[in-house]
Amino acid sequence: MNIKTFDDDAFAVDAESFFHLWCCDCSLRHLVTIEAVGKGADVFKSEGGKIAIGFTRDDESTRMARKEKQIVVYTRKK
pLDDT in tens, 14-70: 888 888 888 766 667 888 898 888 999 999 889 988 887 877 778 898 889 888 888
pLDDT (0 to 100) of residue 52 = 79
Whole-number pLDDT of residue 13 = 83
| C-beta pairs of 61-69 under 8 Å, 24+ apart in sequence | 62/25
Where b means 16+ CB within 10 Å and e means fewer, 12-36 reads: eeebeeeeeeeeeeeeeeeeeeeeb
Q: How confident is the model at residue 8 (pLDDT cuts 50, 70, 90)?
A: low
